[in-house]
Structure 1
Amino acid sequence: MILVTSAAGHSGSAMVKGLVDAGYDVIASDINPKVKDLPGIKKAMVGDLTDVDFQKELIDSCDQIVYVPPLFNAQEEYIGKAMIDLAVKAHLKQFVFVSVIHPILTTLLQHVDKRNIEEHLLYTAMNEDLPYTILQPTHYMHNFTPKEIMKNGEYKMFFFLDKKSVAWVDEADVAEVCAKVVGDPQKYNKADLELVGTERLTLNECMDIFNEVTGKDYKAIYQPIDEWLDDLGAKDLYFREGFKHLANTYNNWGLDGNTSVLEWQLGRKPTTFHEYLKRELNL
């Protein structure tokens, strides 16, 4: 049985779908009760990952785990380390950590947390022989929301419009790799896989592709990060700080990586931004 954490979120639900579609028995866990509505799962477990007893219950329910961290949680590092320690005690046959590309980057708050979790995983695995795989996706395409853009006629984001910004990846591609990884724990044991789907694109370039696909003439609009967070209704201080780090990093340096690793794992070219838009808009 494979456990997927944070399964009601964008990336977690994608991992669940990829595993279910591949024929695996999946337990989906999240603090959000909507996790119960995920199609094809064998069981849903609703609870808080900061609760040690709930962590133990999760680990006892499975023999493999796809650990997707909660988004911008101030206790993320401690949650991840505790889950690894419990996985060792339970003798799980595989710990798959869905991390981030380039966790060494110290200007990104969530990358620092994941770097520390990765370090703990490596030291623990070397000492305890815990089979593990680390998936390191870049900026997910789900952060570009074509249906909302069609509704609003614009795309507001805290990236500068005309700088080379970020390389993107389709979460469905990451989920496809995840399904391969859980299917052969020994083959993928100790592997770190950087998963990048596209070259870097500016927001203007993303909108050009959007307009090409839809026939629209919509614009990307730069919005300062504090205004963007206020419009989102974000009140949690750690969440806000994490996004401020992200805005600063993307606007000063962007985020980049090599697309070949993902291509090698998929056995095909990664999903393009153009293909992602057509799929999401049913075109």
Structure 2
Amino acid sequence: MAPASGVDEAGGVATRRIGITGASGHIGRRVAELLAAQGRAGDLRLIVRDPARAPHVPGAEAAVASFDDADACRAAFAGLDTLLLVSAGESDDRVAQHRTAIAAATDAGVRHLVYTSFTGASADAEFTLARDHGATEDAIREAAGRSGLTWTFLRDDFYLDVLLPWAGEDRTLRGPAGEGRCTFVAREDVAQVAARVLADPQAWADTVLEITGGEALTLGESAERLTAATGERFEYVDETMDEARASRAPYGAPDWQVDAWISTYTAIASGVLSPVSGDVQQVLGRPQLRLEDVLGRA
């Protein structure tokens, strides 16, 4: 294994192999595109669950693995120096999946792990899915203590990109968020930060980056901005808890998922998602994208 400094035994610069999990998703695919544009395609391994959905990045290699398959993960992570661990989809066993992937990464000798976490990740987070992220961060720190692995946590806030899907066909944001504020962040900013960290991981070793937007918006203000930007009328309905459960009942989702959906809004109401961080500007050297920028890109 080459030294962690990135200098090989002969004194030259060692090639860093970069793995990207979730490479068929929004973040993973965009990170791959950004690194390929920097001439790093030949260093990339794009890790997907379905090979038919792997992005086409000339020069990159692909591997197939899911986080619930330890052997497949070890094979997919073998020979990698740095790994982007994009959090698994919402499920009641997501932490177990993450633990499997983390153990496989350490077994495979990965040196640096970049994990897409969430603002306020902790065991008692108001947003229930942020508790999964807190447990995953703990697991990564534990693994680092045993293996010498270094890490970077990207604690993303909710995406600006989801406001339109949240509003749905009737262009109405609904939930018990009150007048709480959230520093919604552009998915593009998250991808660019991730790409920058993967390209120079030691500059961000053992660092928590708070990936927020540049302003804190209420959902009422978000609806007004969507209206102004699109020319279509959007509105926000501040639901009670009973109304929030009733409006989500038709989906037939399990209780844990309904609780997660509703806690999206109660977390906004609580104010814990309102602080604006300068970390995106620190990493990228530019201001964060705004809602209008995201709508324009779409």
Fold in common (TM above 0.5): yes
TM-score (normalizing by structure 2): 0.80
The count of aligned residue pairs is 275
Q: Which residue of 2 aligns with 1:93?
A: 111
The structural deviation recorded for 1:123 is 2.9
Check whether the contact 1:141–1:171 (CA below 8 A) recurs between aligned residues. Answer: yes
Structure number with larger C-alpha Rg: 2
Check whether the contact 1:154–1:221 (CA below 8 A) recurs between aligned residues. Answer: no
In 2, Cα distance between equivalents of 1:61 and 1:35? 23
* CA offset digits 1:164-223 (Å, max 9, x no partner): 231111111111111111111221111111111132211221121122222333323456
Q: Which residue of 2 aligns with 1:35?
A: 53
Identity %: 20
Task: Give the match's secondary structure for 2:118.
Answer: coil
Q: Which residue of 1 aligns with 2:231?
A: 215
Does residue 264 of structure 1 match 2:282?
Answer: yes
In 2, Cα distance between equivalents of 1:171 and 1:112? 21
In 1, Cα distance between equivalents of 2:257 and 2:79? 30
In 1, Cα distance between equivalents of 2:34 and 2:101? 22
In 1, Cα distance between equivalents of 2:63 and 2:247? 33
* CA offset digits 1:125-184 (Å, max 9, x no partner): 2332112111111111121127x96x8351343254x51231111111111111111111
Greater RCO (Cα-Cα under 8 Å, separation 6 or more): 1
In 2, Cα distance between equivalents of 1:24 and 1:228? 46
* CA offset digits 1:48-71 (Å, max 9, x no partner): 321222222222263321001112
Q: Which residue of 2 aligns with 1:115?
A: 134
Q: Which residue of 1 aligns with 2:200?
A: 184
In 2, Cα distance between equivalents of 1:21 and 1:74? 37
In 2, Cα distance between equivalents of 1:73 and 1:262? 29
Q: Which residue of 1 aligns with 2:9?
A: none
TM-score (normalizing by structure 1): 0.84
Does residue 68 of structure 1 match 2:86?
Answer: yes
**Structure 1, unpaired ranges of 5+:** none
Q: Which structure 2 residues correspond to residues 222-237 of structure 1 after superposition, within 5 A? A: 222=238, 224-230=243-249, 233=251, 235-237=253-255
Check whether the contact 2:173–2:219 (CA below 8 A) recurs between aligned residues. Answer: no
46-55 vs 132-141, greater mean Cα deviation: 46-55
The structural deviation recorded for 1:109 is 2.2
